[in-house]
Amino acid sequence: MNLMQEDIIHNLGIIEKRIQDACNKSNRDRKEVKLLLATKTVSADRIKIAVEHGYHLIAENKVQEVKEKHQILSELPIEQHFIGHLQTNKVKDIMKYGISCIQSLDRISLAEKLQQYLERNDCTIDVFLQVNTSDENSKFGIAPSEARNFAKEIAQFDRLNIKGLMTIGLFSADESLVRPCFKRLRTAQLQIQELGLPNVEMKELSMGMSQDLEIAINEGATIIRVGTAIFGQRIYPDSYYWNENSNS
Ligand SMILES: *Cc1c(COP(=O)(O)O)cnc(C)c1O
């Protein structure tokens, strides 16, 4: 076993303990929280190490990376989500690679393109609505105040199964700024649940990353998305993936 592999497995152990501790503190069952591997910039071989260690939920931010890693990953027992900004002209491209859920649905035009593709191919896909809970212009997602109306509109696309909400939250070490973001997502979830939209489950809350997963679990996360704390620092800043200037 080389060092790289040992590091990843070691880090998974640390994360697992952090999740367990956070669940204990919040009186939650560990089974309620799924660990999603956020694998942008991570090679397929390194992802494979984590998958073989028992983690099967992975997600990319860019269509190009999904494509590049597809061959190796397709041989593994994984469930793959997409968590990046998806351009409408890339919909056809990405659907070829067995993505089961788009967590970053943030606009009607994207829903329309997905619906068209899914009708033509007679299938459906799971989606999360992405909410911008930190009110930063640089981040994608609908405003929390728009979430209800957005959910109503998306519910009319019968090929899209709305499973929940996703947010990135504020990237800060200050808990008093981070926690309100997660609370906003939880509030939006409750508001949408109250609408009782047919065929809308709204059970999932995808929030929390390497730095703030404990807060997210405490605020009700059902999926935390972790990259750096497992695979190490990335060379690109996250703004490269998250803001308007990024090219998917
Ligand atoms: C990169 C990324 C993550 C993981 O962030 P880390 O800080 O590396 O854990 C989670 N969600 C999204 C949308 C990301 O792009």
* pLDDT on residue 93: 92
pTM exceeds cut of 0.85: yes
Question: pLDDT-based confidence at 244, cuts 50/70/90?
Answer: low
Question: pLDDT-based confidence at 13, cuts 50/70/90?
Answer: very high
Question: pLDDT-based confidence at 2, cuts 50/70/90?
Answer: low
Residue nearest to atom 11 of ligand 1 (CA): 225
- How far is the centre of ligand 1, averaged over its atoms, from the C-alpha of 118 (Å)? 28
* pLDDT on residue 4: 86
How would you write the chain as a 3-class SS string?
CCHHHHHHHHHHHHHHHHHHHHHHHCCCCHHHCEEEEECCCCCHHHHHHHHHCCCCEEEECCHHHHHHHHHHHCCCCCEEEECCCCCHHHHHHHHCCCEEEEEEECCHHHHHHHHHHHHHCCCCEEEEEEECCCCCCCCCCECHHHHHHHHHHHCCCCCEEEEEEECCCCCCCCHHHHHHHHHHHHHHHHHHHHHCCCCCCCCEEECCCCCCHHHHHHCCCCEEEECHHHHCCCCCCCHHHHCCCCCC
- How far is the centre of ligand 1, averaged over its atoms, from the C-alpha of 72 (Å)? 22
pLDDT of 242 > 80? The answer is no
pLDDT of 126 > 50? The answer is yes
Point out the ligand 1 atom lying closest to the alpha carbon of residue 209.
9
pLDDT of 47 > 90? The answer is yes
- Higher-pLDDT residue of 3, 78: 78
pLDDT of 7 > 70? The answer is yes
* pLDDT on residue 235: 78
Non-local CB neighbours of 89 within 8 Å, separated by 6+ positions: none
Mean pLDDT for 102-123 is: 98
Residue nearest to atom 10 of ligand 1 (CA): 225
Query: Buried b vs exposed e over 120-131: b needs ≥16 C-beta within 10 Å?
Result: eeeeebbbbbbb
- How far is the centre of ligand 1, averaged over its atoms, from the C-alpha of 37 (Å)? 9
Question: pLDDT-based confidence at 248, cuts 50/70/90?
Answer: very low
Tell me which residues have their CB closer than 6 angstroms to ligand 1.
38, 40, 61, 83, 168, 209-211, 225-229, 238, 241
- How far is the centre of ligand 1, averaged over its atoms, from the C-alpha of 209 (Å)? 6
Average pLDDT, the chain: 94
- How far is the centre of ligand 1, averaged over its atoms, from the C-alpha of 149 (Å)? 27
205-216 pLDDT, tens digit per residue, is 999 999 999 999
pLDDT of 228 > 60? The answer is yes
pLDDT of 139 > 90? The answer is no
- How far is the centre of ligand 1, averaged over its atoms, from the C-alpha of 60 (Å)? 9
Point out the ligand 1 atom lying closest to the alpha carbon of residue 166.
13
Question: pLDDT-based confidence at 236, cuts 50/70/90?
Answer: confident
Residue nearest to atom 13 of ligand 1 (CA): 83
* pLDDT on residue 3: 61
Mean pLDDT for 173-180 is: 95
* pLDDT on residue 247: 47
Percent of the chain with pLDDT over 70: 96
pLDDT of 243 > 80? The answer is no
